[in-house]
Chains A and B, each alone.
Chain A
Amino acid sequence: MYFVLRRGLTLGVTLILISFLTFLVFQIIPGDPVLTILGMDAEKGQILALQEKLGLDKPLFQRFISWMGGVFSGNLGESLRFSRPVLDLMMSRLPVTISLALISLGVTIIIAIPLGILAAKVRGQWLDYLISLLTQLGMAIPSFWLGIILMFIFGVIFRWFTPGSYVPWSEDFWGAFKGLFLPALAMAIPKIAVLVRYLRAAVLEQLKLEYVRTAYGKGLGQNVVVNKHVLKNALIPVVTVLGMIVADVLGGSLIIEQVFALPGMGRLLVSSISYRDFPLVQGMILYIAIIVTCINFIVDIMYGLLDPRIRLE
C-alpha cells in the first residue's frame, strides 16, 4: 500500500515537472503557432484575429496557471490548430494507436514465445544459430525502412494490403485489419527479436536450477519439464519486455505512423510539435508519461504475482 502511494506521489510530481518544462520549452523555441497555421499569405488582420482568438496575447504565466487549473478539472484545453478540445482529438486517435499496439503485441507473442522456447530447446544446434541470426537481424533493421519495404512488396506489388487508407473498425473490420497489419508487423519484428532472445536466455537460466534437475530425475521428458515448470518462471523477464513494448507502442510509434500515414497518436504528436500547437503537445506528453509510468507499475505488480519471492520495496 505504501508502495502504491509513493509511486502515485512520484508520478504526480514528475507530471507537473514535465508539464512545466514542456510549457517553457514552447516559449523559447523559434516558430509561432499563428504564423504556422496561416502560412505565407496571412494578412495582418487575420494574424491579429487568430492571436486574440487563441488567447496568445495573454502573458505566459497566466496561461500556464489557467492550463494547469484546467488539467485538474479534466480539461486539457483546446488545440490551437484544430480549434477542438485536446481530449477529443486524443480520444479520436486512441483507437488507432491501441489497435496497432494490440495487433503488434499479438503478433509478437504468437511468434516470439514458441520461437524463444524452441531456441532454448535446440541450443547449440544449427537451428539455434539460425534463430539467433534472424533475431540479430530483426533488431538491426530500422523499422521504418522495413515498413517501407513491406509496403512496397505487399501493398504495391501483391496488393494484399492497402497502405495509407485507414478505416475505423466499426466501418469495415477486414479493411481496418488490412490497413493496420503491415505497420503492426513492422513494429513487431524488432520486438519479436528482443523477446526471443530474452526468453531463450531465461529458459536456459531456469534449466540450470535445482528443481529442473529434480524434475528430470523423476523421469519427465524435456517437453514436459520446459512447458510445465520452466515456462512459468521464465515468463518473469518476458513480462518486463512486454511492458516495454506496450509502453513503446502506446506512446505512439512516431515514425511508423508517419510511414504508413496512420492517424494515430504518434503522427498527431509529430505534427503538433511542428505546428507549435502546445496545448495538444502538452496533452499528449502528459498521456505518454502516464501510460509509461502506469505500465511500469503494472509490470512491477505482475512480478510480484509471478514470483512471490520478489517483494515490493
Chain B
Amino acid sequence: MKKNLNLYIGGGLILIQLLAMLVSFVYTPFDPNEMNIQERFSPPSWNHWLGTDNFGRDILSRIMKGSQTAFLVGTIAVSIGLTIGTFIGAFAGYLGGWIDEIIMRLTDTLQAFPGILLALMFITVFGPSTVNTMLALSLVSIPVFSRISRSGFIQYKQFEFVEAARAMGLSTIRIMFLHILPNVMSPLIVAASMGFASAVLAEAGLSYLGLGVQPPDPSWGRMLNEAQNYIFKAPWYTLSPGIMITISVLGFNLLGDGIRDLRDPRIT
C-alpha cells in the first residue's frame, strides 16, 4: 500500500503556514509596519531572522503578517469563485438547453482571456485595493469551477437515484443541491485547493504590476515588488517572499493532488 505522500507533504506545508498565520495574530517579533531607518537593509541576524527591508522593517514579521493577507485573499477569492461557479455550473448542467448554451458561451468568453488580463481590467475599472483584488481573482476562477460543476451535474443527472428523486416529486432545487451536489463536491474541492494556489500566484503578479494589495499592508507580492528594487543591495529581501509564495503554492497544489489521490487512487 503506497502512502499518499502528496497529501502529507502538501498538508504539512499548509499547516505550517496556517500556524505561522495564527501566531501572527497575537505575536510577531516586531511590529510589521514599524520603521527604523537606522537599521535598514540589515542582513539576516539573530535579531532579524530574515533581515530588514528598505525602511528597516522586520522582514520575518512582515512575512508572517503577509500570510494573513495571502490566506484572506485566497480564501475569499476561492469561496466566491467556488460558490458562484458551482451554482452556475449546476444550473447549466442540470437544466441544459438554452440556459446551458448561454452560460457556457459566457464562460467561454471569460476564458478567452488570460486570467491576469481579466483581473487587470477589473482592477482598472474599480481601482486597486485589497477587496478588489479578491473580487478580481474570484471572477477569474468562476469559469474553472463552473465547468467542473457542469460536467458533474450532466453526469449525475442521468443516474437512477436522481430519477427516483424526481419521480418522488422532489423540487428541482432540492434534487440539485441535496442529492447531486454532494457527489460533485470532490473534484470541486480538488479544484478549490489548486485555485488557492493560483490565487496566491495571481496576487503576486498583480502586485508586481503595482496593483493588488496596497501598502503598507504587507503582502508577499507587494514585498516582492518592493524588494526587486534592492536586489543588489539586499538580495535576502527578494528571496523570502518569493520562497513563501513558492512554498504556499506548492503546498496547495500538493494538497489538491493528495485529495484527488484519496478519492481516485487510480492515477499516480
Contacts and interface: CB of A to CB of B under 8 A. Distances in A.
A contacts B directly (C-beta below 8 A): yes
Interface of A: 10, 13-14, 17-18, 25, 28-30, 136-137, 139-142, 144-145, 148-149, 152, 201, 204-205, 248, 251-252, 254-255, 258-259, 269-270, 273-274, 285, 288-289, 292-293
A252 B117 CA distance: 9
Interface string B174-213: 0000000000000000000000010001001100110000
Given A248-B114, A254-B120, A140 B246 contact: yes
Nearest to B104: A10
Nearest to B202: A142
A56 B265 CA distance: 61
B209 A270 contact: yes
Contact of A270 (B108, B111, B120, B245): B120
Nearest to B267: A201
B117 A152 contact: no
B113 interface: yes
Contacts of A258: 208-209
Contacts of B114: 248, 251-252, 254, 288
B63 to A, nearest CB: 15
A148 B253 contact: no
Interface residues of B, number: 33
Nearest to A247: B114
B205 A142 contact: yes
A37 to B, nearest CB: 17
Contacts of B238: 145, 148-149
Contacts of B254: 136
A140 B253 contact: yes
Interface of B: 105, 108-109, 111-114, 116-117, 120-121, 124-125, 127, 197, 201, 204-205, 208-209, 224, 228, 231, 238, 242, 245-247, 249-250, 253-254, 267
B204 A25 contact: no
B117 A140 contact: no
Dominant secondary structure at the B interface: helix
**Lowest 10 A-B CB distances belong to which pairs?**
A140-B249, A140-B250, A145-B242, A140-B246, A292-B112, A289-B112, A142-B204, A251-B114, A141-B246, A29-B125
A251 B124 contact: no
Given A13-B105, A204-B267, A251 B117 contact: yes
A202 B157 CA distance: 28
Contacts of A17: 109
B253 A142 contact: no
A172 to B, nearest CB: 28
Contacts of B267: 201, 204-205
A25 B253 contact: no
B117 A137 contact: no
A142 B113 contact: no
A273 B128 CA distance: 14
